[in-house]
Structures are given as structure tokens and as C-alpha cells.
Amino acid sequence: MKVLAFAATLAALPFTAGATSVPDTMAEGRAIYNFRCYFCHGYSGNAKTVAASFLTPLPADFTKASEASLPEAKIIATLQAGRPGTAMKSFTSVLSEKEIRAVAHFVFDEFVVRKAANTHYHTAENGWPNHERYRIAFPFATGEIPLSQPWETLSAEQMRGKRLFLETCVTCHDRGAQANQDLAWEARPLSYPRNNFSYSVPQKVDATTSASPYALHDIPPKLKRLTRTERKGEKLFQSNCAFCHAADGTGKNWIGSFLEPHPRNLRDTKFMSHITRQHFIEVVREGLSNTSMPAWKSVLSASEVEAIADYVNRAFHPLRTPSTPSTGSSR
């Protein structure tokens, strides 16, 4: 945007090395896109991802753009400057000029010009060895079979494919399989299970059973006797903020660990002891430049932002008021 082997492999990709030929530029751009861009824009550039469904305005769907409406120079400019008022930040502090031009060239050629599927995403290097073993789930990921199609109308193999899809693929592909009005459940943000991890199957680590280190942070705190406003804030936070900040407020879920800079750990006393309630509300409403924190003022009402502040104050860390002294350093 690295604890598992997948992340370590991607972190070691030679983004700054290589020749300047077109094939090498495409390979470099693809590697950067698959590491930093896909979870919002989709691995095939169509922005049909879970992350996209929680963002307003939506990330760009490159496949709907034309060469005239989205020339390569415009993509480069957006990567350099970002897009104010959206979750699209400037990447000049993260990528070199050469890397920006490489990923822009890849996006333009792969998605804008050729409308091609980024078939090179599900590779062993990206944490997907033997991706073909998921083949029976592919129709649900591509939308060939709507996820809302009744179970009783599916064949035995399609039922197995749907179960596999729900266990393994749904957190990235759930909004690409059917129209939003066909959704059959109320989604809650989850970290994406990496390295073939399945939440439904216990994982063996050193002869012991273990869960994903990210899954632990997708469990909301159990709080008793919440006020009406705090309960409202809990629902809003878990529905909107937990995708990046994690259900437990630490930002240590998979998406949070992937983003650069990481979403704020709302349990970090060293930082949070300096945050006033008014400052917190202002950040939620206005967003933070050069980060993935968007402005929510056009999405949430003033009372809803206040409710989130009440919940954070109760669930994760007290927010300072003018009468509350500060301790330590904010940096």
C-alpha cells in the first residue's frame, strides 16, 4: 500500500531496477499495480472490489475510459498529485518518477487501450500457487453465475464452487458477481485472507492450530451498556471505518497493514493521548492529505461523525476535551 510470505515477496520486487524496454516497463508497472493499486481499482482495472464499494466517490474504472478521456499523461499527473476529495492520494512520496511512469503505462495499455484482464495477478509470486484449483468458483467471481442465484437451482459442482467462493474469494470479488440490489447479505468489512488462508479451516502452524494474524483484528470489541449514540457510532464505525482501521481499531487488519502510510492505530496511547475530540471530528470530516483517509463530510452527517467520535472514545481510547491534560509527545 507484511508479515506473511506473500507480502515479503512483493516487498522485495525490484521496482527500481530493470531495463527501460516496453516489455520491462509493462512488467514493472504490473508488479507495482498488483502491489499497491488493485484492492481499490480491481486486478482487472474495473474497480469492482469490496474496498471500492466503501469509497465515495468511487475509484476510477479504467476499462470505461477511452484513450482520449484518460491519456497516459493524465494518469501520470493523477499519480503525482492525487485527487483531492477522494481516497486517491499522491504517490510521489512512495514511488519514484520511473515507477510512476511504469504503472501509468501499464494501466493505460492494459486497461484503457486493450481492456484486458490482468491475468498475471493470481500468480505464485503474488501468493496464489496453483490458482486453477479454484476453477469451480470462477463463474461466481466473473459474474457468469450471479451469487444471488438460489442454491436449489445450482448443480452439485456449482454448489461446491459457490461454497469455495464464499470461503476464499468473496472478500475481494463480492461486488463483482451481481448487481448491488441482488446482494443477499449484509456485508461487514473483513481483511482479505492471504496465502490461501481460509477463515473456515483451522490453520496448522508448528503443529498448533492458529488463525490468521489479521483475522484477530477483525473482531469488534464487546462493550456493555453503550449509550444510544455510542451504539450508533459502533454501527457506523464497523460499517465504514473498520475496513482500514480494523474492527478493533488497531489498523492491523490485512488492508490496514497494506496501506502506506498505515491507518492510525486508534488504541495507540502515545498518539491518541494528544487527540482532541474536535480534531478527531475534523479529520473524519475533511480527510488527511497524502494518505488514504478520505473526507467523509459528504457521506456522513455531522451527528453521525459525532457518534463515531463517541464510540472511538469509549471503545479504543479517550479523546481529549479542553479540560483534559495531554501527556507525552504527539510525534
- Domains of the chain (ranges; CATH) run 5-113 (1.10.760.10), 131-182 (no CATH), 228-315 (1.10.760.10)
Q: What is the number of other CB atoms lying within 10 angstroms of the CB of residue 265? A: 20
Side chain identity, residue 61: D
Determine the straight-line distance between the first and last CA of the chain, rounded to whole angstroms.
22
Mean pLDDT of the 3-19 span: 35
Nearest to 126 by CA among 211, 8, 260, 253: 8
pLDDT at 52: 77
Check whether 206 has a pLDDT greater than 60: no
Q: What is the CA radius of gyration of the chain?
A: 21
Instruction: For residue 217, give the DSSP letter.
Output: G
pLDDT at 54: 73
Q: What is the number of other CB atoms lying within 10 angstroms of the CB of residue 329? A: 9
Q: What is the phi/psi pair of residue 209, to 5°?
A: -85, 130
pLDDT at 44: 86
Q: How far apart are CA 88 and CA 293, in angstroms?
A: 9
Q: Dihedral sign, CA of 239, 243, 247, 251? A: negative
Pick the residue with more confidence: 211 or 245?
245
Give the confidence band of 136 by pLDDT, cuts at 50, 70, 90.
very high
Q: How far apart are CA 31 and CA 49, in angstroms?
A: 19
Instruction: For 235-280, write each residue's pLDDT tens digit.
Output: 999 988 998 899 999 998 878 877 778 899 999 999 999 999 999 9
Give the confidence band of 8 by pLDDT, cuts at 50, 70, 90.
very low
pLDDT at 34: 84
- Mean of all residue pLDDT scores within the chain: 79
pLDDT at 178: 45
Give the confidence band of 302 by pLDDT, cuts at 50, 70, 90.
very high
Max distance between CA atoms of the chain, in angstroms, equals 65
Pick the residue with more confidence: 212 or 206?
212
Give the confidence band of 126 by pLDDT, cuts at 50, 70, 90.
low
Mean pLDDT of the 304-310 span: 97
pLDDT at 6: 32
Say if CB 108 and CB 133 are below 8 A apart.
Answer: no
